[in-house]
A and B are shown apart, each in its own frame.
Chain A
Amino acid sequence: MNEPAARGDDHRPPRVGQLLAAYGSDVEAMCDACVRHLPGISGVGVAVMTRLPAQAIRYASNPVSEQIERLQVVLGEGPCVDAFSSGQPVLASDLGQVAWGRRWPAFAPEALTAGARALFALPLQIGAARVGVMDLHREAPGWLPGVDLADALVFADATTQALLIEAHARDMQDVPDLYHSYHAVVHQATGMVKVQLNVGIAEALVRLRAYAYAAERPIEDVARDVVGRRLRFDELSD
């Protein structure tokens, strides 16, 4: 939003394509880069889940993050759980506030004891393809400035892609930006491919992208062919 960049004029917002080019599907390296990039953030944790309450700690950048992730698994409540079930970020700028204590009566005091005062949980998702949640914490209270939130969301987008690659297409490293798209036609084509191949939506997305990657075409072009009924994934001969 319309806020001055907190880190001076030389601040360049990261782009999903650049992050993927730099780290590929290396989730650990991506998270560590995120912590380095956001000076106000003390640690990052990633939980991988496909449905509640099953979740697995995929990565924690430090012991506090590890504890935050563990607590949510054990207690079954917390920002990560809420972010996953609602599909919305949960931005808890001060866990010491009554409102958060009421929302997570078991988790909030434990998280404070562990050393986290502010927690920001970002869902890792592309529409109905939900892969997990990224938790960023801070030792001091305070909301995340707009520019930091923007960058954190880009890291979350890149991490989502990395986890999708990891789960469904390990051979797809160095995915350039053109396979990451916000266009409606790509989402529509994903829904069609899901039906054609009778697979889950996350896998449909990866298959669509893998096809574009192999054909060296922008994913929007391939998606337009699918929606225009010039290309069917159940008739591919491979």
Chain B
Amino acid sequence: MSMPREQAVSAALVELADTLVVDFDIADFLHTLALRCVELLDVHAAGVMVTDQRGHLRVMASSSERAHLVELFEVESAAGPCVECFATGQPVSDTDLRVVDTRWARFSHRAGEAGFAAVHAVPMRLRDEVIGVLNLFSTQSGSLTADDAFLGRALANVTTIGLLQQRAIHQRDMVTEQLQGALNSRVVIEQAKGVLFERLKLDMHDAFGALRSYARRTNRRLGDVARDVIEDRLDTAQLLPTD
């Protein structure tokens, strides 16, 4: 827990580059990216949006699955800094959300209500193609420090490269296939969160945590576990924390 920062940074970079594993799980991988951003950077929430290939961004992972945060990322992906970042391929920051930017007024209000003062959108690029955006929320206004901005970009880059696991087939098609599959996994996970919320009375954040820790415990993909929950192939009581 109390690893020196330099060591924690290297550990995160190695972890995010290590995708050449059997049963690589994009949903879990991008969730890890969001968690590491909050741990390593001076930010308080992180979200990962990826292109749905239909011209929109969709929320793929969030450092916390609390409903209001996931919704805030949805509001932002309709109109917010991440949209501009996605369109231009350049980092976009709103360093003071209290001064309402007319380009994304609704998002500014909602982010302010949630206690955030600044947002930083970092592009996830694969050469000349932007496949998504890493979003960093801070409760303090102002820019990221130069160190944090650099590390944020590094984490986004390592993650993006990590998504390119197989090189045999046309790379663009490969990434398209994987991202589409991952976005659908995200929907499966949301449906399973609903099942667990209803059946086990877990809140949405804990429901996600239960799915993720069960998937890790049993060495399975998050989306596959979620699907088993929905199709009644898994006794949901087994997902309850054991300790």
Contact = CB atoms under 8 A, between A and B. Distances in A.
B57 to A, nearest CB: 10
Nearest to B190: A187
Contacts of B53: 1, 146, 149-150, 153
A189 B191 CA distance: 7
Given A2-B130, A191-B194, A191-B195, A87 B184 contact: yes
A183 B194 CA distance: 13
Interface in A177-193: 182-185, 187-193
Contacts of B168: 99
Find the residue from B74, B168, B190 having the highest chain A CB count within 10 A. B190
Contact of B67 (A13, A87, A88, A227): A227
Contact of B170 (A93, A150, A154): A93
Contact of B188 (A1, A127, A149, A183): A127
Contact of B198 (A91, A153, A191): A191
A233 to B, nearest CB: 10
Interface stretch (B33-41, B146-154, B223-231): B223-231
Given A146-B53, A190-B191, A192-B195, A184 B70 contact: yes
Given A99-B168, A127-B184, A185-B71, A13 B197 contact: no
B163 interface: no
A231 interface: no
B120 interface: no
Interface string A1-37: 1100000000001000000000000000000000000
B191 A191 contact: yes
Interface residues of B, number: 48
B206 to A, nearest CB: 13
A132 B181 CA distance: 15
Given A87-B181, A194-B194, A149 B74 contact: no
- The main secondary structure of chain B at its interface with chain A is helix
Interface string B163-176: 00000111011001
A111 interface: no
Contact of A127 (B131, B190, B199): B190
A153 B181 contact: no
Contacts of A153: 52-54, 180
Contacts of B181: 86-89
Interface in B68-95: 70-71, 74, 87, 89
B54 A154 contact: yes
B192 A1 contact: no
Given A88-B180, A184-B67, A191-B193, 5 more contacts: A2-B89, A2-B128, A87-B188, A188-B191, A195-B198
15 contacts: A2-B89, A2-B129, A87-B188, A89-B177, A93-B173, A128-B227, A146-B53, A150-B54, A185-B71, A187-B194, A188-B204, A190-B191, A191-B193, A192-B195, A227-B67
Interface of A: 1-2, 13, 86-91, 93, 99, 123, 125-128, 143, 146, 149-150, 153-154, 157, 182-185, 187-196, 201, 227
Interface of B: 51-56, 58-59, 67, 70-71, 74, 87, 89, 128-131, 168-170, 172-173, 176-178, 180-181, 184-185, 187-188, 190-199, 204, 223, 226-227, 230-231
